[in-house]
Amino acid sequence: MGLWYTGGMFDQLLPKKREFFDAFEEHAAKTLQAAQVLLNMLKSPVDLDLRARDVDELEHAGDTITHDTMNMLHKTFVTPLDRDQIHELMSRLDDILDLIDGAAELIVLYEIKDITQEARALADVLVRSVEAVQTAVGGLKDAKNNEQVLRTCIEINRFENEADQILRRAVANLFKSKIDPLVVLKWKEIYEHLETATDRCEDVADVIQGIILERA
């Protein structure tokens, strides 16, 4: 008796390379948009409520992409990458966007008016780091991009080191200043959100490096 292909459930078992990689790229694009809005909030602190809302909408869009990707992962038998790597990569991308959203929310909740140079510097490094993340994620589709992607991952690591140095100087300057201790604590929390977001970019780079080294 012959076997008949009827589609439906069998389609879910087939590799979905394009769908997974498209999801990574779409999420990275949302994250970059959010980072750019956050940087603009700090460069020009007007209409902060509205712009924080824009960031929040991008974060919700990212959550939807993450949710859909995880569902697809559970339903797909053959995946283009190791299942744990797909899960880890999407989770770390989502962490970046969550932290950006958190920083934008804190700026509004704490009614920040006078923006520090250090905050702008951290946000600028974050944007450049997320741009590099987007480039690295986009290069995963094709193994011929391996060397370029690895170079981009090294660049992301450099951005994390740069943000870490800015954070140390920023916190030191806060405690040297004579401003209200409550303001010091507010800024310290915002700084840490910005720097931790670059840490999560480095986490993404680490996952991507692992993927490339395994398939080399």
Count helices and strands (H / E) in the chain.
6, 0
Residue in 140, 150, 147 with CA at minimum distance from that of residue 206: 150
* CA dist list (Å): 39 to 10, 16, 27, 48, 171: 46, 35, 18, 11, 19
Single pTM value for the model? 0.90
Task: Count other Cβ atoms within 10 Å, centred on residue 1.
Answer: 3
Return the structure tokens found at 186. 């507010």
Q: Where are the domains of the chain?
A: 16-215
Q: What is the pLDDT of residue 78?
A: 83
Ramachandran angles phi, psi of 103, nearest 5°: -65, -45
Ramachandran angles phi, psi of 89, nearest 5°: -65, -45
State the Cα–Cα distance between residues 7 and 115, nearest whole angstrom. 57
Tell me the CATH number for domain 16-215.
Answer: 1.20.58.220
State the Cα–Cα distance between residues 15 and 205, nearest whole angstrom. 24
pLDDT by 10s per residue, the chain, length 216: 333 334 444 444 444 556 899 999 999 999 999 999 999 999 999 999 999 999 999 999 999 999 999 999 988 888 888 999 999 999 999 999 999 999 999 999 999 988 999 999 999 999 999 999 999 999 998 889 999 999 999 999 999 999 999 999 999 999 888 888 899 999 999 999 999 999 999 999 999 999 998 876
Contact (CB, 8 A) for 61 and 30: yes
The length of the chain is 216
Determine whether 78 is exposed, middle or buried from the number of CB atoms within 10 Å of its CB (0-12, 13-18, 19+): exposed
Contact (CB, 8 A) for 118 and 215: no
State the Cα–Cα distance between residues 52 and 195, nearest whole angstrom. 18
DSSP state of 110: T
State the Cα–Cα distance between residues 163 and 98, nearest whole angstrom. 18
State the Cα–Cα distance between residues 97 and 101, nearest whole angstrom. 6
Task: Count other Cβ atoms within 10 Å, centred on residue 165.
Answer: 13
Q: What is the pLDDT of residue 99?
A: 98
